[in-house]
Amino acid sequence: MLLAMAVLAAFGAGNRPEGVSVGRVPNGGLQPQLAVEPNGTIHMIYFSGDPKGGNLFYVRSNASGEAFSRPIRVNSQEGSAIALGTIRGGQIAIGENGRIHVAWNGSSTALPPGPINPEAGKPGTPMLYARLNDNGDAFEPQRNLMQHTFGLDGGGAVAADRAGNVYVAWHGKGSGAAAGEAGRRVWVAESHDSGRTFAAEAPAGNDATGACGCCGMAMFAANDGTVLALYRSATQNVHRDIYLIASRDRGKSFQGSLVQRWEINACPMSSMSFAESRGTTVAAWETGGQVFFGKVSGAAVAKPIAAPGEGKGRKHPRLAVNSRGETLLLWTEGTAWQRGGSLAWQRFDRDGNPIGAKGTAAGLPVWSFGGVAARPDGSFWIIY
Beta bridge partners of 203: 187
- The answer, yes or no, to whether the previous bond of 32 is cis (omega within 30 of 0) is no
Rounded CA gap, 163 and 332, in Å? 34
Structural contact between residues 124 and 67, judged by C-beta atoms closer than 8 angstroms: no
Show me where the domains of the chain are located.
31-383
Q: What Cα–Cα distance (Å) separates residue 104 from each residue in 58, 115, 137, 287? A: 13, 16, 20, 24
Q: What Cα–Cα distance (Å) separates residue 132 from each residue in 20, 43, 65, 160? A: 30, 12, 21, 13
Q: Which CATH class is domain 31-383?
A: mainly beta
pLDDT along the chain (384 residues), means of 10: 30 73 97 95 98 98 90 98 97 98 98 92 96 98 97 96 98 92 96 98 88 96 96 94 96 94 93 95 97 96 94 96 96 96 97 96 98 96 98
What is the reported pLDDT for 11?
A: 43
Backbone angles phi, psi at 348, to 5 degrees: -130, 150
Structural contact between residues 296 and 273, judged by C-beta atoms closer than 8 angstroms: no
How far the first Cα of the chain sits from its last, in Å, is 20
Rounded CA gap, 264 and 131, in Å? 38
Rounded CA gap, 384 and 382, in Å? 7
Q: Which pTM value belongs to this model?
A: 0.95
CA atoms in the 13 A half-sphere facing the CB of 31: 26
Cβ-Cβ contacts under 8 Å for 252 (sequence gap 6 or more)? none
Category of 62 on φ-ψ map: left (φ > 0), alpha (ψ -120 to 50) or beta: beta
Rounded CA gap, 139 and 87, in Å? 23
Please state whether beta strands 100-105 and 42-50 pair in parallel, antiparallel, or not at all (unpaired).
unpaired
What is the reported pLDDT for 13?
A: 59
The candidate with the shortest Cα–Cα distance to 95, out of 170, 146, 37, is 37
What is the reported pLDDT for 92?
A: 98
What is the reported pLDDT for 65?
A: 85
Structural contact between residues 215 and 203, judged by C-beta atoms closer than 8 angstroms: no
